[in-house]
Amino acid sequence: MDDELRKLIEFGVSKDEPLARHCTLRVGGPARYFFVARTREDLVRAIRGARKLNIKFVVLGGGTNTLASDQGFDGLVVKIAASEIRLEGSRVYADAGVLSVFAARKAAEAGLSGIEWMATLPGTVGGAVRGNAGAFGSETKDHLESIDILRGDQEMTISIAEAKFGYRDSIFKHSDDIVLGATFKLEIRDKTEIERRMKEFLSKRSDEQPLGAQSAGCIFKNYEPDTRPIEEVEKNFNSEDRPRLREFWAKNRVPAGWLIEKAGMKGFCVGKSCVSDKHGNFSVTTPGATADELVQLISAVKTKVRDQFGIQIQEEVQFIGFR
């Protein structure tokens, strides 16, 4: 099997590669097979090879928003490093492996506005598309024009409507389609203003998030209010917190970090894995942490928020290798 896989992909397949090296939480056991796809063609060839040999595979971007099992992954992990980026008029095409911050900066240099906020994302364009990443009131889908994908053995381009974007969701989370690249349709604006906005977003991120720590980014999705009347929910909150809850409820998003903070879970630890003191929706690790600790931490946070407020928050991280 090893020789067959190497022959199909042609080069660069390694064995027993620790996933902790490639995930920003710095936890995770070995991938049975590991391949870095440095071009779009590499990526397609690797996936076709895995499918032909009936080998389980998972695609990894920047390793953010990802939690890999301590047992690793018994299959092929394909790390996307394809980094082509093209500008044509007001359009920007980026391979799935392009860092979101790089795409935002290249657009800014060309005087193209719309994705300045993406400079605050730690991952790749492919990951942003898959999860419809968002920040500062914007989402990835807002300026997307089309997406290049691998569906089965066929490369094709699909529309935004076909991608079925939702809050931190898309068709790519519910199908075998693989994002190869994306084209953004942006607006021509003053470069100075674009740079100002980008710096403002980055400054806010620095003030609010534990930059430099070992973290996956936000662990949980913000809560989308259900059909219950606000009066039924707010009785679980202190009176001083109810006005803020009503503001969030009216906007159809209650920040998970706020809920976690109000539940008193900031700074809570399981072993060497902790809820950040700076932002409740960030879990951080120190050397020696394990994926099992993080799973326990996530479970404890969900349980506390549910029991205290009657609200069930959901993870937005991708789990790799868990049974």
3-state helix, strand, coil in the chain (%, to 5): 35, 30, 35
Backbone phi and psi for residue 207, each to the nearest 5 degrees, phi listed first: -70, -30
Q: For the chain, list the domains and their CATH numbers.
A: 2-80 (3.30.43.10), 85-194 (3.30.465.10), 211-320 (3.90.78.10)
Q: CA nearest 96: which of 12, 186, 178?
A: 178
pLDDT of residue 88: 95
Residues in Cβ contact with 122 at an 8 Å cutoff, skipping those fewer than 6 apart:
24, 62, 64, 100, 101, 217
pLDDT of residue 12: 81
pLDDT along the chain (323 residues), means of 10: 65 90 97 96 93 94 96 97 96 98 97 98 96 96 98 97 97 97 98 97 94 94 94 97 97 97 98 97 97 98 98 97 92
CA dist., res. 256 & res. 138, Å (int): 17
Residue 76 pairs with which residues in a beta bridge?
33, 57
Residues in the chain: 323
> In one letter, which amino acid is 270?
V
pLDDT of residue 6: 67
pLDDT of residue 314: 97
pLDDT of residue 42: 94
Catalytic residue ranges: 168, 218, 316
Helix or strand holding residue 231 (H, E): helix 230-234
pLDDT of residue 89: 96
β-strands 269-270, 138-139 pairing = unpaired
CA angle 55, 59, 61 (to 5 degrees): 160
